[in-house]
Each structure stands twice: as C-alpha cells, then as structure tokens.
Amino acid sequence: MPHQVPIAEGLFTWPADQPALLCSRCQHCGIASFPVADSCMACSGQEVSVEELPNQGTLWTWTVQHFMPKTPYNSGETMETFKPYGVGYVELPGGVRVEGRLTESDPQKLQIGMPMEVVFAPYRTDDDGNEVISFFFRPVQ
Ligand SMILES: [Zn+2]
C-alpha cells in the first residue's frame, strides 16, 4: 500500500481512524472558520481554538465543473482523462460552510439541502509516489 499524505497540513486530522475536518472557533464571538485561521474573520479576535467538524451536513449550493482546474488544484488530469466533477458548499452543524469536491457529478442526483457526508480519499499521486489524500463530499445513502 502506498504511503498516504494529507493534501495540506492542518486541514483535517491525519492519520486517524476516523479523520475529521478541522475548523477554528473564535473564543470571543463563537464564529467558526474553515480552514483553520489564526484570527477570527468576523471580529478579528486572536483567541481561537481548533475543533473537529461533524462529518455530516447539508448541501448548500453546488455546480458541475466542466473545465480542467489549473495547478495546484489539478489532480493530474489531462485534457484526455479529465471528467466533469461536482463541487459545492456543504453546511455543517455549527454554521460552517465548507467548499469541496463532490463524489457525484450527475446533476440529477444532486439537490440543495440533501444530506452529505465527508469522505477522505486519494486525490492524486505526488512525485515521490505518495497518495495525496483529500476530502470529498458524498451524498448520504
Ligand atoms: Zn470572533
């Protein structure tokens, strides 16, 4: 099994049996932000704590991306291998909206307000042969 590395440090708990996205929550006003920020975007408060986010939420808005993303967002696709993919914002309990790729790209199967869960999966392989792990949102079955 190839070594697995997170796509970015501090984005989610890794390695973990049950990885979770991480947010920072302002100790002053209670607003949470994703990804983790050193200070609060709402009130500029400097006291924030890092918390794990719930792994289920609801689809807030979405679209299907038909253009190949530029690096560093490109996952190694070429014009020949690229397939359109869903991307959206999922609202998690606690009032945080997280943008991410969706596992589903069929507009018939996506609906605002539907329950979604976070899954962690290989996104691409880096130059050292490691599997780069990112998070995706998947419709709850
Ligand atoms: Zn604040």
Q: 48 C-alpha vs ligand 1 centroid, how far in Å?
A: 8
Which residues are within 8 A (CB) of 74 and not within 5 positions of it... i.e. 6 or more apart?
68
Closest CA to 94 of 55, 62, 61: 55
- Peptide bond preceding 15 in cis form (omega within 30 of 0): yes
The yes-or-no verdict on residue 71 having pLDDT over 80 is no
From CA 31, how far away is CA 48, in angstroms rounded?
Answer: 9
Spacing, Cα 28 to ligand 1 middle (Å): 5
Q: How far apart are CA 28 and CA 48, in angstroms?
A: 8
Residue 24 clears pLDDT 80, i.e. is over it: yes
Task: Say which range, 23-27, 66-70, 75-79, 99-103, has the weakest mean pLDDT.
Answer: 75-79
Q: Which whole number is the average pLDDT over 68-86? A: 76
Return the structure tokens found at 29.
């006003």
Helix, strand, coil percent values for the chain (each to nearest 5): 0, 45, 55
Question: Which residue did the predictor score with more confidence, 141 or 64?
Answer: 64
Local confidence band at 95 (pLDDT 50, 70, 90 cut-offs): confident
State the pLDDT at residue 82.
84
For the residues 37-62, what does the mean pLDDT come to? 96
In sequence order, the β-bridge partners of residue 135 are 120
The model's pTM: 0.89
Instruction: Please compute the mean of the pLDDT values over residues 122-137 and round it to a whole number.
Output: 93
- Domain coordinates in residue numbering, the chain: 4-139
Which residue has tokens 């596992």? 103
Please identify every residue whose CB atom is under 5 Å from ligand 1, which is an ion: 26, 28-29, 31, 40, 42-43, 45
Q: Cα(first)–Cα(last) distance of the chain, in Å?
A: 28
Q: Is the pLDDT of residue 54 over 90?
A: yes
Average pLDDT in the chain: 92
User: What was the pLDDT predicted at 130?
Assistant: 94
